[in-house]
């Protein structure tokens, strides 16, 4: 944990807006995941935060990686140290899955030389992969319940379980190898029943595939969705892990490789945003503070991730319900309309913790304001 004093010192040294990544927290989150899900290989979802330093730290801990674009693939491929590039070709499957079910033909052509493991969920994608990346191994993505997830994904991706085996056999007929199945229960899933239902659906598809003559699948990707402990309403990870472990042991033999794509769980609690009060007003009786970071930058998750990041003050004093706005001229740039804050002055620092996932990763240069400066600590 980075102390308030340390955050203020870093802000004075580097200026604001500032994004502070704590690598001790990254390591602890990875170890917690492995402790409670020992059979599951963690493929960090790079989209959550693609900073190369984060990739390096998690790789050293033993992580593999889930990528969804060629730039993300290259970040992983180019930032793994200690392995000659010529050896990485055979290493790709163990360390990278390209888990975007829809891929441009140009992407497939670039991927083919690596003989990658990729996901798919429809017949058209089979034809594309066969033509442009015939050396790829495939994992069929299933549509599963996303009930209660903060970000629902099944309306965009996933094959209906009823057509799953038809898609597996179609890929096989095209000369492609289907290695297994994947699913995603939705981001920040606090409804643990989603995992139970998804694992049972996957087991049924495995059985149907065997019954229809396809016996080559030996991989199950249980996706992401593992909830970050943003507040006390999120149940402990060990409780979810116990449910997942129980179903995996009951449904899948030891020869089935289990992998997952934790993103938010790995990085959410490992970063802080520090900004400065640059403006102050009272509107309709409510204190309003304008700060040097906003929803076009580190607080992008307010818009894109349906997530709230409480704004905290370093100074003490009686608090009032206040609004916090970002620095741009856009009325959309509202960080919060209801924060309990003391009376702040121009130049005061404020901060948010647990803001490592889907935040700085979506920063823009809108209105000419640059993304926050990134500082890494405890590397």
CA dist 115 and 59 (Å) reads 21
CA dist 128 and 134 (Å) reads 9
What residues contact 294, with CB distance under 8 A and at least 6 apart? 325, 326, 327, 328, 333, 335, 369
Phi–psi pair at 76, nearest 5 degrees? -70, -50
**CA end-to-end span of the chain:** 13
Q: Where are the alpha helices (DSSP H) in the chain?
A: 4-14, 23-36, 52-61, 70-78, 85-95, 105-111, 123-132, 161-173, 193-211, 237-251, 264-267, 301-304
CA dist 131 and 216 (Å) reads 22
**156-167 burial, b for 16+ CB within 10 Å, e for fewer?**
ebbbebebbbeb
Phi–psi pair at 281, nearest 5 degrees? -155, 165
Identified catalytic residue from 233, 329, 331, 368: 329
CA dist 191 and 185 (Å) reads 9
CA dist 39 and 247 (Å) reads 12
Tokens encoding 109: 């052509």
Residue 288 annotated as catalytic: no
Phi–psi pair at 291, nearest 5 degrees? -120, 170
- Per-residue DSSP letter, 47: G
Q: Residue 306 in contact with residue 150, Cβ under 8 Å?
A: yes
CA dist 80 and 113 (Å) reads 18
What residues contact 155, with CB distance under 8 A and at least 6 apart? none
The catalytic site residues sit at 329
């Amino acid at each position: 944990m980075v102390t308030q004093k340390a955050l203020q010192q870093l802000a004075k040294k580097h200026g604001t807006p500032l994004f502070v990544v704590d690598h001790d927290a990254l390591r602890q989150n990875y170890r917690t995941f492995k402790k409670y899900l020992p059979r599951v290989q963690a493929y960090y979802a790079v989209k959550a935060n693609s900073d190369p330093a984060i990739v390096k730290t998690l790789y050293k801990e033993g992580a593999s990686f889930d990528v969804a674009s060629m730039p993300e693939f290259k970040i992983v491929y180019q930032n793994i140290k200690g392995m000659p590039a010529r050896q990485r070709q055979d290493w790709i499957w163990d360390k990278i899955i390209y888990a975007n079910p829809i891929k441009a033909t140009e992407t497939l052509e670039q991927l083919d030389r690596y003989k990658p493991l990729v996901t798919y969920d429809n017949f058209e994608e089979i034809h594309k992969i066969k033509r442009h990346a015939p050396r790829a191994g495939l994992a069929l993505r299933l549509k599963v319940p996303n009930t209660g997830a903060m970000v629902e994904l099944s309306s965009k991706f996933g094959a209906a379980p009823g057509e799953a085996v038809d898609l597996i056999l179609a890929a096989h007929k095209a000369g492609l190898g289907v290695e297994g199945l994947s699913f995603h229960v939705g981001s920040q899933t606090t409804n643990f029943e989603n995992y139970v239902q998804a694992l049972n659906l996957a087991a049924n598809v495995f059985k149907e595939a065997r019954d229809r003559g396809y016996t080559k699948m030996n991989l199950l990707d249980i996706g992401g969705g593992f909830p970050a402990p943003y507040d006390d309403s999120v149940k402990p990870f060990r409780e979810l892990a116990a449910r997942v472990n129980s179903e995996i042991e009951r449904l899948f033999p030891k020869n089935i490789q289990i992998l997952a794509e934790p993103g938010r769980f790995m990085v959410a609690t490992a970063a802080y945003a520090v900004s400065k009060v640059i403006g102050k007003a009272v509107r309709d009786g409510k204190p309003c503070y304008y700060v040097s970071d906003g929803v076009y930058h580190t607080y992008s998750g307010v818009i894109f991730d349906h997530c709230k990041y409480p704004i905290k003050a370093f100074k003490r004093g009686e608090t009032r319900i206040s609004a916090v706005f970002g620095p741009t001229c856009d009325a959309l740039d509202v960080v919060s309309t209801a924060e309990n804050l003391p009376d702040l002055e121009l130049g005061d620092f404020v901060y948010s913790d647990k803001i490592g996932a889907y935040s700085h990763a979506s920063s823009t240069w809108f209105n000419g304001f640059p993304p926050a400066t990134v500082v890494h600590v405890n590397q």
